[in-house]
Amino acid sequence: GRAVRWLLSRLGLDNPDVLPIYIGDDLTDEDAFSALRGLGIGILVAARAQASAAAYRLRDTAQVEALLRHLVEKETGDG
């Protein structure tokens, strides 16, 4: 969790104009999900629902790819 906050600060991305999104599939990602509560969005990648500090869940990497493509399309005006 501290690493995520440090990285955001170091890159100058720790401001209200930035919405950090952290996507992870491992128990070690839980600290980052917790650190982003109220600051950004944590997304767990797991086939089944499970307890997590992440606010959202995607089932697999195909859903991650679809989400990222959608975000890029929205940002570039292609979607």
Phi, psi at 63, each rounded to 5°: -70, -35
pLDDT, averaged across the chain: 95
Residue 62's pLDDT band, with cuts at 50, 70 and 90, is very high
pLDDT tens-digit series, residues 6-31: 999 999 999 999 999 999 999 999 99
Q: How many structural domains compose the chain? A: 1
Provide the residue range defining the domain that includes 44.
Answer: 2-76
Alpha carbon distance 13, 77 (integer Å): 23
